[in-house]
Amino acid sequence: MSTVPALRLLGVRFDDLDLDGALALIAARDPSAPFAYVVTPNADHLLRLEAGDDALRALYDGAWLSLNDSRILRLLAGRRGVRLNLAPGSDLAASLFARAIEPGTPVTVIGGSPAMAEALRARFGLTALFHHNPPMGFIRDEAAVQAAVAFVTAHPARFVFLCVGSPQQEKLAARIQAAGGATGVGLCLGAALEFVTGAKARAPAWMQRAHLEWLHRLASEPRRLWRRYLLEAPRLLRAMRKVPKGQ
């Protein structure tokens, strides 16, 4: 855990960092320092944690940084008088490639397709990108988990992008950290690299500013996301009503 001031919203830790602050801190970290990881809780993650998943909460509490990924969460927190900073994972990934990652910077990617890894190499001229895509459901296969941990340890990188979905990526990050031997910053960023490479399109800036990015994503992937955005929205509103005003 970092020494950055933080608050807890429904028991979930959020470090008081915006995108620029998070980028500066991550970029300044010694590349040879022991592996530490960054989580980016959003509304979906908060609901899982608020429901009492103590094992998952421990993974988030064990993160070096915990950054708010959700504009909707920031908006709802603000209505309860809680100032919640914003550092979306997709923007963080894009900013790292634009401002911190040079062609020779060692980068490891866990998850995503070989085509995505090749697109990253081509787009940014990367000469030290290492890619490992564990099998579907790998987190329930101890041998597959150990293989992913071993790959990260065997390929020292300044930035390790863990793109296998939540909570698999947070579980894997904690395993890498506990194993010792690995270096760099692990970034639990889900589909962020698909946005960076253009494999998926981000919502237009005006939709992001209007807190409608969820609608764009729902329209893009309705079968995968309808439950999250349509059924869980009432749960989020009910949960946020538990937050004391001016917490």
pLDDT band at 44 (very low <50, low <70, confident <90, very high): confident
Cα 187 to chain centroid, rounded: 6
| pLDDT reported for residue 244 | 84
pLDDT at 247 over 80: no
pLDDT band at 207 (very low <50, low <70, confident <90, very high): low
Q: How far is CA 216 from CA 75, 219, 223, in A?
A: 18, 5, 13
Identify whether the C-beta of residue 106 lies closer than 8 Å to the C-beta of residue 158.
yes
Q: How far apart are CA 246 and CA 228, in angstroms?
A: 28
The average pLDDT across 76-87 equals 94
pLDDT band at 45 (very low <50, low <70, confident <90, very high): confident
Cα 242 to chain centroid, rounded: 25
| pLDDT reported for residue 234 | 76
Q: How far apart are CA 245 and CA 247, in angstroms?
A: 5
